[in-house]
Structure 1
Amino acid sequence: MKPIVQLLHFGYHQAMSCIFPLAIFATLALSNAVRVPFLPRYDAILLVLLAVQYLMYRSGLETRDEIKVICLFHLIGLALELYKVNMGSWSYPDPAYTKLFGVPLYSGFMYASVASFMCQVWRRLRMDMTGWPGLAPSLLLGGAIYLNFFTHHFIPDFRWWLKGLVLLVFWRTRIVYRVRNKTYRMPLTLAFVIVGLFIWLAENISTFFNAWKYPDQHQSWQLVGFSKISSWFLLVIISVIIVAQLKYVKANRVSKGS
């Protein structure tokens, strides 16, 4: 019976950590089925997601530090969206007032939702890491991964080399998380794969609700290619690196202040 109780507690904290991503899915689905008169769909989505973030902060579901991380990810994601859309990787065909160079401003929230999940699950499961490679290796690797999303359009794609570096740099890194009074450990690279797979599933749901369209989805919806899992795998690494470093910085400040 005890393993079932542990699993239920783990599932509860995972579900609570997914509130913002679930709010995005619900908003995409509802806005696809019901259109607001005189308000373009992408603008309505942006207003709803801003309201959700405000309510999560005011209710205590998210802290001020977590909001800062979410804003950072929104900017990182928006920069990537601006580049990818203008390179023709995907598109947002609907009109909107809050569109910047073909990219609706709400799109950054889809990246921010990953940060929201990371921050919440870190706090709820009292996460820590062992064998963390340190500031310089992790930030250099994260920067190289992010840069490759831009440069592979005009120079060779180094994602497979980067994946090899990920295995090398994080080979000894383990996630430590706690459910009730029991401590568990998981290889960080395995967590990258699991979260990347779930984001790929989320991407299929999002494109089904016309959040955006890949070139092969303009005539009819099709399953997003499995190759995208590797892209999300790499994006998750950037997310974990930033969140982990910020958590360590905050922990050091608290310890020095005590």
Structure 2
Amino acid sequence: MLQQLLTYFKANPEFSIVTTIVCTAIIWLYKVFKVMIERDNQNKLAKIQKHMDSYIKVEAAIASVQAQPANTGILQNLYDKLGECSSYFSEDMRQLIRDFYLRRNIEILGTIMILIQVELNKLDRQRNKVESHEVSGDAMDFILRLYRPMNPILIVFFIIFVVLWFVIRASLENNMWDRFFIGTTFITTSLSATFLFAVIVLWIDGELVIREKRDSLLKLSMILSPLIIFLDYRLSVISLLIQIMAGILVARSMKKRLIVV
């Protein structure tokens, strides 16, 4: 079989050149993405550790105030720590801290401590998850670490293949409307695939937040609307309009939540 492959390469030098270029590109991209993933994981660990250190400092300062509420020096230290670490806090925690500033009610600190513990547990799980990707001795994890840099490479080649397929398909059509419908088909399926990929990434990272049913239905419509193309590819226009309208409504909903907060 090897001899047959060598004979085929000799008989088709153009194919051998293309194969060499593709293989070289894959190896180069693998190294690039591997370094990027490792650096990203290190940055994630550093960020998580920085957040945890900040929470622990605030937790210790709160405990000191609870033990000696009349000590102004300890109270000032708590104010300093809260100010230094405020950018790491959730909006709910910042609101509680504002209430503490206004009322100076020591009981509020107990609630803040509970929220800090919740955040620390969450950060600890995130750190363990990232570290398991880097240092786990499990055979399956080792294989997944080797395979992980291939994911973006496969996505790149898949995108190139899909774009070329749509371009070739459109170029073979003589009717302008058929080209238009092929273009809208490409756009609506690309939007659906992009949004689905984003949802999957958020789900894997444990950051997917399911809000009210209306938002969930709108997001599902953005993902699933291209399925009507199987009935008739000219329906791609309707699919694209559904995605645009759903996207506008989701954006408005997010804007309202930001205003409320």
Task: Normalising by structure 2, report the TM-score.
Answer: 0.27
Higher relative contact order, chain-length normalized (CA < 8 Å, sep 6+): 1
When you count helix as a share of all residues, which structure comes out higher? Answer: 2
Task: Normalising by structure 1, report the TM-score.
Answer: 0.27
When you count strand as a share of all residues, which structure comes out higher? Answer: 1
Larger of the two Rg values belongs to structure: 2
